[in-house]
Amino acid sequence: MEQTIQILHCGDIHLDSPFSRLSVEKSERRRAELRETFLGVMRYVRDKAIPLVLISGDLFDSDFATGSTIETLRREIAACAPTQFVISPGNHDPYTMRSVYATGRLPENVHIFKEEGLARFDLADLSISVYGWAFLRKTHSFSPLAGKRVEDAGRLNLICGHAFLDNVLSDCCPVTGEDIAGFGAHYAALGHIHKYSEGTRLGETLCAYCGCLEGRSFDEPGIGGVNLIEATKDGDAWRLRSERILFGKRRYETLQIDITGCAEEKDVLAKLTAAISAHGYGEETTLRIRLMGELPTDFVLPQLSAEEFGVYSLDIQDMTTPTYNCAYLERDMTVKGELYRTLLPRLSGGTPEERAAAADALRVGLAALENRDITII
Ligand SMILES: [Mn+2]
């Protein structure tokens, strides 16, 4: 008889993140949205009656959590029973005596790994074994899987842990691909890398990072989500299928747009609008646009607002360089020529940031010397 089991893998949720780059009001709203997104996952688990949830670390952003977050967590997890939750504390929320894991009185359907070394948790009635470990502090210096093998190959064997895969010098649990392949589990639910990527096969093991649930900065682009694993028993073997389910409410994205050749303000607007709509960015997107290319020295960039483009928030980085008549400026005996010659080493030889800063200085300087309006974005 065919038996199918669904397993939900999530992690790097970072509840109660400070979102410190945002204003007080916006950061409070983002914390609430993050909790709301997490509640969405819990609703999904209940609606689909998923029997097992793996949380691969960094459920909390730190070992501090607000009373209301702990209360919500307790209530939501209890309401999911008989679903079992297995949690592997990560580098942001290590298992310590004062952590929520030790003091939070979490419901009975939660199992938390408490040791740095490999431990095993069996779901008796489902013939599933989950192997995992805990961070006990900010660092974890060895691979709990090294040289180990699953103990009972007849069960559905899973790994749940926070680890930096194939980064042997890392002090964030340096597990290697060979460790995972050699261990011989069916699925490895990893946390730590916030970017979701398709699962990879390491030996017989499907191995995946779930990414975060909500991006918190431009370093964490895309809409966050969870991995839904469907394991089907086929004779003695298990067949696994992985599906990405999106839950994030907002996303951070960066677009690099070359505006060379734009002669007027409306050309820039048209180019940006086309790029934004091609990517389908809207109210859910905090967008950074990096403007590239060359512009005439007297070109004044228009003021660009998030509302104009229908996105949540807009951050413009002007990395354009001015096209200038360098042969003329080089020989120019006025202050303009002097300005150009002073900036020339950085315009032609610095890092991209230095070149951009020097180009800004030249554009603003020439504009000032020519009594033109200056707009600095
Ligand atoms: Mn994390």
Measured in Å, residue 318 CA sits from the centre of ligand 1 at 31
Measured in Å, residue 167 CA sits from the centre of ligand 1 at 16
Average pLDDT across the chain, whole number = 91
Ion ligand 1, residue ranges at CB < 5 A? 12, 58
Measured in Å, residue 59 CA sits from the centre of ligand 1 at 8
Measured in Å, residue 162 CA sits from the centre of ligand 1 at 9
Measured CA angle at 55 (ends 52, 57), to 5 deg: 165
User: Among residues 236, 235, 129, which one has the least CA distance to residue 183?
Assistant: 129
30-53 pLDDT, tens digit each: 899 999 999 999 999 999 999 999
- Is the whole model's pTM more than 0.95, yes or no? no
299-352 pLDDT, tens digit each: 888 888 999 999 998 999 988 877 767 777 888 888 989 998 999 888 888 788
Percent of the residues in the chain that have a pLDDT greater than 90, as a whole number: 67
Domain ranges of the chain: 3-246, 251-369
Distance CA 132, CA 146 (A): 13
239-264 pLDDT, tens digit each: 999 999 999 999 999 999 999 888 88
**Inter-residue contact 272 to 298 (CB < 8 Å):** no
Query: 192-201 long-range contacts, Cβ below 8 Å, gap at least 24?
Result: 192/12, 192/56, 192/57, 192/58, 192/90, 192/91, 192/162, 192/163, 192/164, 193/164, 193/165, 194/12, 194/219, 194/220, 195/220, 195/221, 195/222, 196/222, 196/224, 196/225, 196/227, 196/244, 199/227, 199/242
Measured in Å, residue 90 CA sits from the centre of ligand 1 at 7
287-306 pLDDT, tens digit each: 999 998 888 777 888 888 99
Measured in Å, residue 283 CA sits from the centre of ligand 1 at 26
Percent of the residues in the chain that have a pLDDT greater than 70, as a whole number: 97
Measured in Å, residue 14 CA sits from the centre of ligand 1 at 7
Instruction: Read off the tokens for 158.
Output: 């899973």
Measured in Å, residue 88 CA sits from the centre of ligand 1 at 12
| Amino acid type, 24 | V
Measured in Å, residue 192 CA sits from the centre of ligand 1 at 5
In sequence order, which ranges of the chain are alpha helices (DSSP H)? Answer: 24-47, 67-79, 100-103, 177-183, 265-279, 306-309, 326-331, 335-349, 352-369
**Inter-residue contact 224 to 26 (CB < 8 Å):** no
Measured in Å, residue 93 CA sits from the centre of ligand 1 at 9
Specify the range with the lowest mean pLDDT, choosing from 138-142, 283-287, 369-373. Answer: 369-373
Distance CA 114, CA 102 (A): 9
Q: Which residue has the higher pLDDT, 125 or 281?
A: 281
Measured in Å, residue 13 CA sits from the centre of ligand 1 at 7
DSSP 257: E
CATH superfamily of 3-246: Metallo-dependent phosphatases (3.60.21.10)
Measured in Å, residue 134 CA sits from the centre of ligand 1 at 14
Measured in Å, residue 91 CA sits from the centre of ligand 1 at 7
Measured in Å, residue 66 CA sits from the centre of ligand 1 at 18
Measured in Å, residue 138 CA sits from the centre of ligand 1 at 11
Buried b (16+ CB within 10 A) or exposed e, 238-263: bebebeeeebbbbbbbebebebeebe
| Amino acid type, 145 | L
| Predicted pLDDT at 1 | 57
253 forms bridges with which residues in the sheet?
A: 287
